[in-house]
Amino acid sequence: MEATVANAVMTHAPTQPTTVDYATLSPAAQDTFDRLMEQADITASATEYEALMTAAIAITGIGRPRYNEIFKCACPCTCPVIFDADDPDAHVIEESGGYNLGRLQCPTCADQHPTPAEQ
Ligand SMILES: [Zn+2]
Ligand SMILES: [Zn+2]
């Protein structure tokens, strides 16, 4: 049995949600979230991008995303879900060019509102 330190830390599973409804955030939090995401989209600095994402994650209270990245659903149904950008069930509508934001559908929309892949 080899227990790693990382695993030990993970055993204290938080009850934080893996998705958050944007509409349930306070107006101030929504505003801050929007600005953080806008900046994350235009920054050319990976360090700054990380910091912006970390702040956005803290504001939403979303549970530990896999790679410290969250997106708001880009589904045409105007879905308000904010989710882990690296969720394997999320659907990529548009790949990001470089290391800024692409457009993703949340897992629920990927299932219920499939968007044809761009050819
Ligand atoms: Zn969605
Ligand atoms: Zn949708």
Instruction: Please give the pLDDT value at position 39.
Output: 95
Instruction: Please give the pLDDT value at position 8.
Output: 46
State the distance from the centre of ligand 2 to the C-alpha of 118, rounded, in angstroms: 17
Low-confidence ranges of the chain (pLDDT < 50): 6-9, 119
State the distance from the centre of ligand 2 to the C-alpha of 113, rounded, in angstroms: 5
Instruction: Please give the pLDDT value at position 100.
Output: 74
pLDDT tens sequence across 76-105: 999 999 999 999 999 998 887 766 788 999
State the distance from the centre of ligand 1 to the C-alpha of 83, rounded, in angstroms: 9
Instruction: Please give the pLDDT value at position 68.
Output: 94
- Where in the chain are the domains? 17-112
Structure-block tokens of residue 95: 């790949």
State the distance from the centre of ligand 1 to the C-alpha of 8, rounded, in angstroms: 33
Instruction: Please give the pLDDT value at position 117.
Output: 58
Strand order across the beta sheet in which 70-72 lies: 19-21, 81-84, 70-72
